[in-house]
Chains A and B, each alone.
Chain A
């Protein structure tokens, strides 16, 4: 029952978010601001995680493939495949759901409880549009770039750490990451990323927007935002994978 309620209210909110903006110039400014806040500030954590994950996957596969039948370039190939199609788009998005999601929900939630959203409404502004649209647009625009950087750093991390521990040779690794490349998998990955970006920003905004009460409830909204964004990312990951692979 509760689920249907949230579902209905979520779609009504999204409808309000995408109604005609009051003043385009103000929105453009907000979008740039959000891109900076959502995107640029997430770069360090993404860089560190991707670099190390690339390294670890390289080492695991290099020492895992003990059969002489597996060619040595398989390591590079494995790193590329897992980074491009699963780790970067899905796992990094899940991590961002935690970071961006809680941030958005608590920001909008505290605006709600301190009547800042009411103040916007009283001025005759569509508060849902003004607050949420820039976040969704910024997320959908910037996340693909973040994930692309993550993919690149993952592969670089694999190379550097693989060489450092003597797991691969430079030639094999570079040959491996280029082997059997199928471009449609990039479409698949980035379809996921854009979907996840929309889910994270809109769901977190939703929970923030309908916060009721005080500081305690802001905390709860922000937890719900992360939990529900993560679950929906997993569900959509499954659905989109079905769509592309079958």
Chain B
């Protein structure tokens, strides 16, 4: 479980995160949703210490992350698997080396065990037999999936995914969503997914935090979201006419 309590962040005079509190539960896929530029990525980066909070607490099972020393932070980070919005694959390494990297660094697995694990992870994200390709040789969506494979390689306790299915077709999107969800259940991971994809919201949104211009605006589940009366969230959910039609069709049945 991870709890954030009253976190604040400004870049210069620009207030980006304003008094956000939330509990990300273990064994659940917790979603952060919101428009582009609302501060979703910033929250995640605050949680892992890539940005420092101006104020507030970030509790990993009760341990307040910002007040830990570097060693303490590193101990927690080793349990985090993170998928960056841009992938952040290591350019100079093949897919296989990228996925193996956390295993090389932090485990004493044998060569064969590592190979097996790498193939398993690549398989899960549907990149079987792409082991020897370099990131430069992949499409945008493939990079995302490869980065997810790296994030889950070392059995993380916390899995943070920044838009795991942006740039993916609807079918692959669902595969990735389901993968994230099933890993979360199977290994009882505390998972946080950032997304704007309403499909994902409905499919895997067990606990949702909606951020509006840096403020915590709404919380609830993927089912509850359609019954909201919150005007900004309604705008967000029903941004497309298609969504509205589906909603009414389902409601009138």
Contact = CB atoms under 8 A, between A and B. Distances in A.
Interface of A: 22-23, 26, 107, 110-111, 114-116, 118-119, 121-126
B86 A114 contact: yes
28 contacts: A22-B105, A22-B106, A26-B104, A26-B105, A111-B90, A111-B91, A114-B86, A114-B91, A115-B84, A118-B50, A118-B84, A119-B88, A119-B90, A121-B49, A122-B48, A122-B50, A122-B77, A123-B77, A123-B78, A123-B80, A123-B101, A123-B105, A124-B75, A124-B77, A124-B78, A124-B106, A125-B105, A126-B74
Nearest to A117: B88
Nearest to A19: B70
Interface of B: 45, 48-50, 73-78, 80, 82, 84, 86, 88-92, 101-102, 104-106
Contact of B86 (A110, A111, A115): A115
B82 A122 contact: yes
B77 A119 contact: no
B105 A116 contact: no
Contacts of A116: 88-91
Contacts of A119: 82, 84, 88, 90
A110 B136 CA distance: 14
A124 B89 CA distance: 16
A110 B91 contact: yes
A12 B101 CA distance: 27
A23 B105 contact: yes
Nearest to B45: A118
Contacts of B76: 124
Residue with the highest number of chain B CB atoms closer than 10 Å, among A110, A111, A114, A119: A119
Nearest to B107: A23
B105 A122 contact: no
A121 B50 contact: yes
A42 to B, nearest CB: 18
A117 to B, nearest CB: 9
A126 B76 CA distance: 14
A150 to B, nearest CB: 28
A41 to B, nearest CB: 14
Contacts of A22: 105-106
